[in-house]
Structure 1
């Protein structure tokens, strides 16, 4: 007898009513446990944990630097008549309480064929590690138009362990943050504060990961209080201290270019205290390979 491994059925079943209580006909796709095969993929900047579902698409957990863990559903079923997607934590059929717990609910982007969830995904992953399953429902204002997908969490332990290990190694800062960092200095402050040291440590963790970063420009600036000579000296002390902290956190000296400008390039009006405060700064700019090419061509 041929084993039918995937089924899409149009029934009002006891099993469906237990997972997603409804009073109408529902479409269901249940991934058999022997076909569950979660796949891990990762690099220095992102980690993913995915499950392909025949006749539906792909479900993927995604982790990136400085972003909440998300879950994406890519499916050709993400279209009319469906309007919303509901992500649920579902207990296995042999559990005493089989009522689902809603994790997140979002409107569908019917153009992309993709749905992204970001609420309580950490909790969902933890529940799946404990044996709970994953449920996705596509629904519409017409209660008869529902599509339930249920995915067991079996055969997941090793892939999830690799996913979590990858997440732990992600840099503390993403490129959108590392590209331009501005440290403001108080009046009379010459070296970085403890909170600024942490920012620089996070920046260094990114710079050490991204091999495409070709230069790091460190520029010291002051307000217009004091002489030009004194301001040049202060801006140099501040920029040198920033470079020193980055070196302590593993950034190569050859990567950094340190410059001091004194009060020559204000970004705000030096006639106000607020403006002076904005001008007392050290800027750190990470230039990647593609950025350098763009600057040459412009």
Structure 2
């Protein structure tokens, strides 16, 4: 296979220059896999250009992107291909569609579906290729990656992906815990959702501020509803504290029936309104330790 590929590259260099092509020489091709609990990357450096890489964030499937040293692209679109190997006659390139291109170090990110087909193509000996018409009046550009040495790095990438957290910060920073039964105790579904959030908070020390807003339906009187919303918010706070979060990083507010998600006109709607809304923030200095008498535990103003 190596000899065939070298022969192809020799032929390719004799063809008229229809586009400016960036491609690493066969003998210099390397794939590397790296990452942590938050993100895994599978990359190939591209000579004189930058790199092409697959990125999988916690809670998501991989996407494909280019990283450029300079700013070779102008705004517009490019075509993404899973190009056939030259030693496999009869196999055409697979057009995976267009990607929107912009200026900057990372000119585009593919869709998850496009990245999945590129990975499958690499396992089948195909090359990821990006074709862009270039800036106005400029030459077309082609960026090509090679499938050699791919499978070992891909195995490492899969091993990294298996250790990713279930969700990333953007997915987890806003959440809602329900109390469909009308009480103040956390049910199994609530505990499962909170367990995912607590695991993320432990893994990411930059998340050091949590805001909890308790709510009720309108089934009781105003004072009873405020007390129910307070106890629900405190139940969530107690869960976070039991899982290692400091009390002075948690702010609790309770609002009673004042802010329904939906009108309280049916039991199903009332169940939706019995909730605690959670908001996570990064990099906020710890607040005063929240107790029922401290400024961090706030009742909504009553009219």
Aligned counterparts, 1:130-141, within 5 A: 130-139=124-133
Find the counterpart in structure 2 of residue 16 from structure 1.
Answer: none
Return the TM-score normalized by structure 1. Answer: 0.72
Partner of 1:116: helix, strand, or coil?
Answer: coil
Q: Does 1:44 align with 2:45?
A: no
| 73, 85, 97: which one aligns with 1:92 | 85
Query: Post-superposition shift, 1:121?
Result: 0.7
Q: Does 1:11 align with 2:5?
A: no
| 243, 256, 262: which one aligns with 1:251 | 243
Find the counterpart in structure 2 of residue 56 from structure 1.
Answer: 49
Query: Post-superposition shift, 1:252?
Result: 2.3
Partner of 2:157: helix, strand, or coil?
Answer: helix
Find the counterpart in structure 1 of residue 285 from structure 2.
Answer: 292
Aligned CA distance change for structure 1 residues 208 and 126 (closer, same or farther; 3 Å): farther
Aligned CA distance change for structure 1 residues 70 and 10 (closer, same or farther; 3 Å): farther
Q: Does 1:261 align with 2:254?
A: yes
Find the counterpart in structure 2 of residue 173 from structure 1.
Answer: 167
Q: Does 1:154 align with 2:109?
A: no
Which deviates more, 253-262 or 90-99? 253-262
Aligned CA distance change for structure 1 residues 79 and 120 (closer, same or farther; 3 Å): closer
Structure 1 segments unaligned to the other structure (5+ residues): 1-5, 14-24
Structure 2 segments unaligned to the other structure (5+ residues): 1-8, 289-303
Aligned CA distance change for structure 1 residues 10 and 191 (closer, same or farther; 3 Å): farther
Find the counterpart in structure 1 of residue 21 from structure 2.
Answer: 28
Contact 1:87 / 1:135 at 8 angstroms: preserved in 2? yes
Query: Post-superposition shift, 1:258?
Result: 8.4
Aligned counterparts, 1:42-121, within 5 A: 42-75=35-68, 76=70, 78-80=72-74, 83-110=76-103, 114-118=107-111, 119-121=113-115
Contact 1:10 / 1:26 at 8 angstroms: preserved in 2? no
Q: Deviations over 1:241-263 (max 9, x none)?
A: 5467668xx93264685857362
Q: Deviations over 1:74-131 (max 9, x none)?
A: 3346335x84311111232222334110123123213566122124212221321333
CA–CA distance in 2 between the matches of 1:156 and 1:294? 49
Aligned CA distance change for structure 1 residues 115 and 10 (closer, same or farther; 3 Å): farther
